[in-house]
Structure 1
Amino acid sequence: MTSPGNLILFVTDNHTRNFLGVAGHSHVRTPNLDSLAKRGVHFKNAYAATTLCCPARAAIATGLYPHQTGFWDNATMYDGSVKTWHHHLRDAQVSVTAIGKLHYRSVEDDNGFTEEIHTMHVVGGVGSPLTLLRATEDGVPSRAGHKAIYGNSGPGQTDYQIYDRQITERAIDWLRGNADNPEPWALIVSYPSPHPPFRADQEFWDLYPPEDMPLPSTWDVPNRYDHPAMAYLAWMNQLPEGMDETFMRNAYAGYCALITQTDAEIGKVIDMADELGLTDTTRLAYTSDHGEAIGAHGVLGKANLYEHSAGVPLILAGPGLPRGKTVSDCVSHVDLFPTILDLFDVPNKSGEILPGCSLLKVIGGQQVLRPGFSEYHAMGSVNSSFLIRQDNWKLIYHVDLRNQLFDLASDPDEANDLLAGGGTHPKEAELTALLRKQVNPEELNARSKADQLARIEELGGYEAVRNAGSIAASPIPGTEVRLEKI
């Protein structure tokens, strides 16, 4: 336990684990997050609970995996029905404020906050119904909008960068108004960037000439779609038809530039906290909801369980925590719930048995090593898939499709699937057995699809959902949604 204080939790959207200076990326610049890591603890093997926005954010809030809550996708999002760490803190008389992107169902739900300021939730309390078609025989139809927003990379800005600045301004105003509050508080500052489109101010774009970008080793290899799950994901997002090198270099440069610009926004809030004298009483944490492939394995976005999509940055700093420490243990989004309760010395009174553990125990070496785990049950998937990692061996288990196995020690880019082409390996059975101690993959595949089919009926049936259109990027508060018709 540590003595109660304050907490600022920064959350971004779409920031993959290794696109940090402190993580050793060769090009991307993240001076503020690097500085935060030097002030605290960097978890180099953190995983998202799942690789899609709404269910990942639900897991951060509830400390539970999608298979435990039924928040499977971007059309079955957090709705206030499960207690969050926000509820627990608020019940313990700790003020909890959220600013920015939450992507829950609605501000009208009791999301556990004392106050929500300029928050973004899903469109109309419904989200993206098209994603539910994953549960049907035809699946989610091919859509052009996904690839198009990656093609819109370059200098400039979109609504998301406007929203980023608004979030920073409101966070700074909130800190100024609450710096002298003698009671402990928690503040979530949540940015929509670096979600595509990858538009950044000219000063940040100029840092990353497209011709200098170190494209992923697997972006154009001939066998990048040799697994049926990846072939379907690429088909759904219309990627095999032409993701040429110029396109990729611009998108990669834009991603790096937007990460650096988002880092600058976070830096403004940290600087204000320091200026207001909050350093000695306030912990700072950073993570992202999921990663981004940015061309690796021939895909863009997430919706898969490779490291680039399931791996997320995670940093924790502040009073009572070590400085400049790196932790290699596999940790997860679901660990944030018990960690935050631990930071505030607030017990979990819900009676729910949580799958995560306090990161303070991990930092202190009091927690035995746990396997890395993540799951996926949403758009872009033929069937459910699961990630299980022990040491540097990683299995991606695909229900009713062949599995994938990687040795991350010798193959960090996951370019060599040891089960490809009918290959066998004794680690497959070992990791499958470890996975089955945690979940029943086939049962969860059936249950997630049953829930999604039921939701389709609630929304008017198959044709109504298919004709609802696709949302490539959720609108910021005060703007209208742009739908892509399928």
Structure 2
Amino acid sequence: MAQTNNLILFVTDNHNRGFLGVAQHPVVQTPNLDRLAKRGMRFANAYATTTLCCPSRAAMATGQWPHQTGFWDNAMMYDGTVPTWHHRLRDAGVPVTAIGKLHYRSGDDDNGFTEEIHTMHVVDKVGSPLTLLRATEEGVPTRGGHKAIYGNSGPGETDYQIYDRQITERAVDWLRENANNPEPWVLVVSYPSPHPPFRAVQDIWDKYPPNDMPLPATWDAPDRYDHPAMAYLARMNQLPEGMDETFVRNAYAGYCALITQTDAEIGKVIDEADALGLTGNTHMAYTSDHGEAIGAHGILGKANLYEHSSGVPLILAGPGLPAGKVVEDCVSHVDLFPTMLDLFDVAASEEDGTLPGQSLVAVARGAVETRPGFAEYHAMGSLNSSFLIRLGEWKLIYHVDMPNQLFNLADDPNEANDLLAGGQSHPREAELVAALRALVDPEALDVQSKKDQWARIEMLGGLETVRNFGSIAASPIPGKNVKLEKV
């Protein structure tokens, strides 16, 4: 497509794609993301490549699946060794500036940016080693801090909301300094919210009375932990001990409130770009690294492949793109790499020729053959690797050495009715398994991910050293020290 001058990419953490006004959520208010969607295209069936921060963000940058790069979890994060779309644009003369949360190994690595401003990376270039214990027989220890962080929902703020404001301030300052730059540029504005704890200012919190929250239909379903993968995840996060309705309602209200507050921060940057006259020559995009269950299936957080955790919002707007368009094709974060090159008319290198993604612009124009939805998971909370494969309304979650799960998303968008539960069979299972095996070898990737995680354990000093690292419920913002939870 014809080159535009600039791009602003907004990224958040932990935003379930259903929690948007334009996605018809019954209560959440996202006026700024809604207006961005009305300016451009919303991809209604976008998936994260995986449902954990570091491996997802690595895939967003590299355009490759976790199984291609070996960035499996939050202790094996992006380290500058694999080319990113940031590198490609920078090398083509388009400066790329990042502000806010990246969650790569370190700002000392060449992450492909021309400049990093007030960025957040993993702790001490190591991240969260406890996730590596997924490869061991006993698995990751139970984490009391996980449930506690969701219990810390209410009016007020945490460090993350302070950091959100700092990111907005720096983004606005950067736009003012570069608005008249005649050369094209990219600005990545990446917020840590709406990651828990869910805190918001009083007037936003008051928009979401906990007693009025539409709780997920499956939050207390009697069969919510019947599948061994869900039982294992719930055990790790100390959820079988129970979540009462008051707890879930308060967390749900806090999640909605923090989404609205994060939307307001994004709105400030959009407003500044508009005021500076950038709208006519600047694309804007929005996505999040993964979703959030917020009680669905009795789960808090992610680390699973249900729609609430694997589905992400994805919006692209700007010159030359249709306004108010909803694209139903299954798309993925691996599509960001070719999209960014497409927006700036930068040709893919020979090395990029085998990347799995397609330009979202081409997808929206109907120029890309329909592709299956796909995602994978190999990290904490999983006993074995799992894979999502979707063909039309049919979705399979393939679990290595465990029963698979099958859902018809047209009839059952909440994934409340597993058509394979209790040993049932269904003719669609074989078709979806075949489609998955055309892409990957699930059993081989389970073996490889655990082998790599064991190697990383040894590199960090061995099993006992890793066991004693402690758990990180939320990474510290720049300038703050980490608080480790002993397990």
TM over 0.5: yes
Do 2:21 and 2:31's aligned partners in 1 also have CA atoms closer than 8 Å? yes
Q: Secondary structure at the match of 1:280?
A: helix
After superposition, the C-alpha distances for 1:42-99 in whole angstroms (9 at most, x for unaligned) are 1000000000000000000000000000000000000000000000000001010000
**Aligned partners of 1:73 and 1:30: how far apart in 2?**
30
Do 1:123 and 1:474's aligned partners in 2 also have CA atoms closer than 8 Å? yes
Per the alignment, residue 289 of structure 1 pairs with 289
AA of the residue aligned to 1:336: L
**Aligned partners of 1:136 and 1:165: how far apart in 2?**
40
Per the alignment, residue 391 of structure 2 pairs with 390
Do 1:5 and 1:343's aligned partners in 2 also have CA atoms closer than 8 Å? no
Do 1:83 and 1:350's aligned partners in 2 also have CA atoms closer than 8 Å? no
Structure-to-structure mapping, 1:13-412, within 5 angstroms = 13-352=13-352, 353-412=354-413
Per the alignment, residue 464 of structure 1 pairs with 465
How far does residue 242 in structure 1 lie from its aligned partner after superposition? 2.1
Per the alignment, residue 424 of structure 2 pairs with 423
Query: 1:483 and 2:484 equivalent?
Result: yes
How far does residue 350 in structure 1 lie from its aligned partner after superposition? 5.0
- Count of residue pairs the alignment pairs up: 486
How far does residue 348 in structure 1 lie from its aligned partner after superposition? 1.6
**Aligned partners of 2:428 and 2:134: how far apart in 1?**
30
How far does residue 2 in structure 1 lie from its aligned partner after superposition? 2.6
How far does residue 347 in structure 1 lie from its aligned partner after superposition? 1.2
AA of the residue aligned to 1:279: T
Q: Secondary structure at the match of 1:249?
A: helix
**Aligned partners of 1:350 and 1:468: how far apart in 2?**
42
Do 2:4 and 2:283's aligned partners in 1 also have CA atoms closer than 8 Å? no
Do 2:4 and 2:282's aligned partners in 1 also have CA atoms closer than 8 Å? no
5+ residue gaps in structure 2?
A: none
**Aligned partners of 2:429 and 2:132: how far apart in 1?**
31
**Aligned partners of 1:28 and 1:162: how far apart in 2?**
22
CA RMSD after TM alignment: 0.5
How far does residue 302 in structure 1 lie from its aligned partner after superposition? 0.2
How far does residue 4 in structure 1 lie from its aligned partner after superposition? 3.1
**Aligned partners of 1:324 and 1:221: how far apart in 2?**
37
After superposition, the C-alpha distances for 1:205-258 in whole angstroms (9 at most, x for unaligned) are 000000000000000010000100000000000011121000000000000000
Q: Secondary structure at the match of 2:476?
A: coil
Do 2:8 and 2:285's aligned partners in 1 also have CA atoms closer than 8 Å? yes
AA of the residue aligned to 2:125: G
How far does residue 11 in structure 1 lie from its aligned partner after superposition? 0.2
After superposition, the C-alpha distances for 1:238-294 in whole angstroms (9 at most, x for unaligned) are 011121000000000000000000000000000000000000110000000000000
AA of the residue aligned to 2:253: A
Do 1:374 and 1:386's aligned partners in 2 also have CA atoms closer than 8 Å? yes
Per the alignment, residue 443 of structure 1 pairs with 444
Q: Secondary structure at the match of 2:27?
A: coil
AA of the residue aligned to 2:418: D
